[in-house]
Structure 1
Amino acid sequence: MNRAELRICLYNTKSLDIYNIMSLLESMAIRKRTALEFSWIPALMCLSLHKETRTVPVLVAIILFQLIINYSLNSFRWHLENNSRDNQGNGGQLPPQYPSFFPYVSNALSFVCNNANFIQRATLTSSRISFLGFDIYAFQDRQTVAKIWKQSTLSSPISMFIYVLKYFFGLPDSVVSVYRADDSGPFPKPYSGSNVLATDRIDHITHHGFLRALGGPGLLPTSRRYMNALAARMHNKNISSEWVEMADFSNLFQEMVGASLIECVYGPSMLRLNPKFMEDLWGFDLKRWYTYAREHFDDSHISSDGDGDPYWGSNLMRYRQEKLLAVKNHDDDALARMDLGLAWGAVGNTIPCAMLSAFHLFSDPDLLRRVRNDINLSFGDQQLQGIDPNKLTKRPLLSSIYAETLRFYVKTYFVVSSPHTDVHLGRWTLPKSRIGLMNAGVSHMDSDFWNSRDGKHPVTTFWADRFIIDQRDPQSGPIASEVRESPEWMGRRRDNEEKARMNSDPFFSMEGTEGSWFPYGGGHSICPGRFLAKNVILFTCALLAKEYDVEMLTDKIEMSTWRFGLGVGGLKHPLPFRIRKRNA
């Protein structure tokens, strides 16, 4: 289409629709893109005919000019395709190519050097990112993310397992090959087209064990073991009613929360054999613990809850010993590395999330007063370690603090892939065997989606009440009013209004946030340990609030970005504090 054609189309348009104009511009851009991208070829040919002018500066200038043209064209096309109305329906197109100044390498360099800044620049849309010639499909718009969680073919986290176990824990290639070969998925029934033997379905074997232990019948006894272990450790620390200053709040949580969490899963014997386990998670050989447990355990040691025991610690660890060692190429060395990975996964984000929740709780006197009042009204003089952990999860304010902590601090990457078929996600398509990438931190900071109460609580600040709905307050709740009033939200709005009518008191709500709040992932591939993590965080905050006074000696908290994409960033500076036992 030339300029004259464009002019005629515009004059013939009765109402100038910006999307129609953008479609015309896109058509022109695509047609001329190839010619412009390769305009350097005739320029170089011309130089070759005039050898006296063929100098390095001229060549550099031509290449630089061409790179600028190409980058401008790619940026223009990227914005057009992301904003085109034609792509808003069920087009099932490939996401547009993310612009790169130096083809093949600049996106890779940006990602490696500062992946936090790079992924944030990709904004809340979807793109194909060229990474050394390999395309990664980055999905961030909430509609697409919500559709991803509904796809059963995108339910396997095995791609991430392979990366973490191989490069973080040194799993040998002979074992990694079993993971790579497993395209059967995490469900009892294998994916259509998979021919993996039942004994080698490592994805399903692992996933089934986690589901039973961390979200099924094992959740309650595991949570109770944690509650008892933490209460005992805090009691044995002998904190008096006099103020005691300590150097770093995070050290207290590593010592108390981390060790209690490891004990509730791995049992007390492992920590007795490795008393400095929490100080150097990477430095221990768990095979010594395996030998000890095998020598001493029999079924009579299983506790009355049917889950715990003093040697293996939990049914999960007994299950892993039985099932994983039967998988091809798996031995004690491989299993020890995998169990270290499990320990790292259990404590790596749960400890900092518990600590950060408590930090905000004790940094806000009014919030602390409200939490203490709620605990006293709900449980009175009961010892908290004796209550049903499910009752804690029903406390709206504690639950909102928990959800806001994860929204504010968790920046995890999630990887999805479909081994056998292309997956249509409404507007976009993820081709089979290609990698889809999402980052929770980008969505967690979407100022267009999250309620800021007219700017009083922007997404860049911690707001403990963000996830509480009060029927008397139309500005309450996690979702911005502009989103709630949109046509696509009509059904959800009716559901929330009905729920509000049934709850005269303020209540905790995550309704409608599945495409924007996903610290654990989502759908079938969501982290099975999320229920235990929530129980750990809520009980820890409740126990500290009820039984201890904590005064933070700094109100400044800075997080580093070196762990961006792995969950919660590390602290840049220690958090000094003082603590004392509350008077009964």
Structure 2
Amino acid sequence: MAVTGVFFYLIAIFGTGKLLLNYAPISKPSLAWMTAVGVVTSLNYAWAVASYHYKRRRSSKEELPPVYPAPVPFLGSAVSLAWDFTSTRISLFGSEMYIFQDRETIEKLMKHPSLASPMSIIIMTLRFLFGMNEAGLAAYRADDSGPLAKPSPGSNPALAPENRIDYLLHQSFNRAFTGPGLAPTTQRFREAFSFRIQGLTGHNECVGIGSQWTHLRDFFEVFGKVAIGSLTQAVYGNLLLELHPDIVDNLWDYDDALPWLARGVPRILMPGPYRTREALRSKLKNWYVRARQDCSVSNMDPDRDWDPVWGSKLVRYLHQTLHDEHGTHDDDAMSSHDLALLWASNFNAVSAATLAAFHVFRDPSLLARLREELAMHFDPPSSFEHANPKLLLKLPLLSAVYAETLRLYVHVFFMSSAPHQDITVGKWRLPRGANAVVSTGITHTDNTHWNDQGGLAPLSEFWADRFIVRPGDVRSGPTKYGKAQAAGARVEEAFDKPYFSTEGLEGVWIPYGGESIKSSTSPHTEDDER
């Protein structure tokens, strides 16, 4: 989900445990039995190690990734894997996972047309994290057609087009959060955010933010509450916040509860996270009742960008389609769906913006450079408040700060699956229905490829200039091999200004779980932007 417009506006405006053992004498039969088990286990592990390395060195195509050697067969590879992470097949408590980490495979994985997010993972997420009922989940269980316009080969031919919920949601989110569809949401966010900032600073709305600095004690107040409140208003309208002004605080409580819900801890053992989730869903259902009293979503102009009662076109479309027309989601299921959208649309963008601003403000020289870059393109500097987000995207230092924030902090497991056929990704084969896993935390800290300035800019630390290419400086740019430098030299031989680039990062930078932000390899002048 691309949230670059919201992100850039946000950044611009702020410029040994102990183990107790009970010892008992070991009888000779027990000792002999343990010795035998130890010998067998050691021999089994030695054979697994030899087999693993032999298969890795083979150059034949379309093989299954080798099984990672496990010292203890039942526990699988959970312990040993921590020391050596590469493309492999692991076993954990009897289940196999296909983990890919080499660049060639990841590049193929991200571009393969037959791959999609595993529906089983989507169902588990909706059920355990967001509490969707079985009636709502039935629509997801029935859909094996994939997210593309053309149903996946081998999928259920009897599935009606209106029941392709994976495709419906994929297209809806793409329209709303990328390209021209993102512009209205960004504009509404800017207006709501500016209004809230003026409330914090005490400036009159007609006068604007003004030229005087206002000092705020709580950094979290701006990002954790003001930004999320503004984005919630932009997506869900005014009525939800009017009915439940504390819903932003509730979202933060829910974010704290998510790790426990993800673990599947039973409600009887830990009721708190479930109460937090149900309280949010109850408020969403109350909003539905009031909103329908004011205006039925089915009676509204479908082309209207935003409505104070029902919010954005996306929200109205989903309610009309899933609830009113198809009837696959009752109010209970819709509240789970809306909670998922409400949380995801806020916490991805706002978390990235908060971390980026934290690094900017803790480094006075970086803050000064960023303000100087903004001042070169906005006169007065506060006029960027009304700027086109595309302009902010072209500022090299601002883009570099954004990209480095995503590199350093987006540590997730990207999962995909080919439900109907075996596929080839690089030298490996992924069996039908198997789940492929990529850890962005590992690819984003691959010191064999990323530029760490010979150890002066460790990949475990934030470096604002990592994505900046300086023509003539072969040590600049995001990679160690000068790919960004070479590409930039071919295109921009006549320029000598630093510019932002993501050239050469295919397969090692996965900022949006498979998507990427556009690389700006065109140094621009002040006249280009005015």
TM-score over 0.5 for the alignment? Answer: yes
What does 1:429-508 correspond to in 2, within 5 Å?
429-481=429-481, 484=482, 495-501=487-493, 503-508=495-500
Q: Structure 1 residues 395-404 or 68-77, which shifts more?
A: 68-77
Q: What is the aligned counterpart of 2:150 among 189, 192, 205? A: 189
* Cα deviation, residue 77, structure 1: 2.9
Give the conservation status (yes or no) of the 8 Å contact 1:218–1:315. Answer: no
Counterparts in 2 of 1:303 and 1:398: CA distance versus 1, 3 Å: farther
Return the alpha-carbon distance in structure 1 between the equivalents of residues 302 and 172 of structure 2. 20
| Cα distance between partner residues in 2 of 1:242 and 1:333 | 46
The structural deviation recorded for 1:456 is: 1.4
5 Å-filtered alignment, 1:147-162, equals: 147-156=108-117, 158-162=119-123
Q: 1:362 to 1:308 in 2, by over 3 A?
A: same
Partner of 2:29: 55
Q: 1:72 to 1:165 in 2, by over 3 A?
A: same
Q: How far is 1:80 from its partner? A: 3.6
Matched, 1:175 2:136: yes
**Displacement after TM superposition at 1:182 (Å):** 1.2
**Partner SS for 2:429:** strand
Is 1:215 the counterpart of 2:178? The answer is: yes
SS in 2 for 1:97: coil
Do structure 1's residue 95 and structure 2's residue 65 form an aligned pair?
yes
The structure with the larger Rg is: 1
CA–CA separation in structure 1 for the residues paired with 2:141 and 2:129: 17
The separation in 2 between residues aligned to 1:391 and 1:186, in whole angstroms, is: 32
Match of 2:46 in 1: 72
Using the TM superposition, give the Cα deviation of residue 275 of structure 1 relative to its aligned residue in structure 2, in angstroms.
0.7
Q: How does 1:195-234 map to 2 (within 5 A)?
A: 195=156, 196-234=159-197
Distance, in Å, in 2 between the alignment partners of 1:134 and 1:327 is 36
CA contact (8 A) 1:302 1:308 kept: no
In structure 2, relative to structure 1, the CA distance for the partners of 1:467 and 1:301 (3 Å cut) is farther
1:379 aligned residue? 378
Contact 2:297 2:320 in 1 (8 A): no
Contact 1:174 1:329 in 2 (8 A): yes
Closer, same or farther: CA 416–80 of 1 in aligned 2, 3 Å: same
Task: Give, in whole Å, the separation in 1 of the partners of 2:475 and 2:52.
Answer: 36
Give the alignment of 1:299-378 within 5 angstroms. 306-325=304-323, 326-327=325-326, 329-378=328-377
2:83 is equivalent to residue 121 of structure 1: yes
Unaligned 5+ runs, structure 2: 1-26, 204-211, 252-276, 520-530
**Residue 396 (structure 1) aligns with:** 396
Once the two structures are TM-superposed, the CA of residue 148 in structure 1 deviates from its matched residue by 0.4
The alignment partner of 2:437 has SS state of strand
State how far apart, in whole Å, the 2-side matches of 1:468 and 1:177 are.
48
Aligned to 2:511: 519
Amino acid at match of 1:246: R
Distance 1:251 1:141 in 2: 41
Given residue 469 of structure 2, which amino acid in structure 1 is its aligned partner? Answer: I
Counterparts of 1:229-308 in structure 2, within 5 Å, are 229-238=192-201, 244=215, 246=217, 249-281=219-251, 282=277, 283-284=279-280, 285=282, 286-297=284-295, 306-308=304-306
CA shift, 1:65, in A, is 2.6
Q: Which amino acid aligns with 1:68?
A: S
User: Alignment RMSD, CA only?
Assistant: 2.7
Identity %: 37
AA at the equivalent of 1:259: G
SS of 1:416's equivalent in the other structure is strand
Instruction: Report the CA distance shift for 1:122/1:232 in structure 2 as closer, same or farther (over 3 A).
Output: farther
Which secondary structure does the structure 2 equivalent of 1:414 belong to?
strand
Give the conservation status (yes or no) of the 8 Å contact 2:193–2:227. yes
Is the alpha carbon distance of 1:345 and 1:331 closer, same or farther for their aligned partners in structure 2, counting shifts above 3 Å?
same
Q: Deviations over 1:449-503 (max 9, x none)?
A: 101122211211111011111212111111112xx4xxxx7xx876443223264
Q: Distance in 2 between matches of 1:310 and 1:120?
A: 50
> C-alpha distance in 1, partners of 2:82/2:348?
21
**What is the CA–CA distance in structure 2 between the aligned matches of 1:58 and 1:304, rounded to whole Å?**
77
SS of the residue aligned with 1:217? Answer: helix
Q: What count of residue pairs does the alignment treat as equivalent?
A: 453
How big is each residue's C-alpha offset from its partner over 1:363-382, in whole Å with a ceiling of 9 and x where there is no partner? 11111111101111111115
CA pair 439-199 structure 1, distance change in 2 beyond 3 A:
same
Gap change, CA 1:235 and 1:297, over 3 Å in 2? same
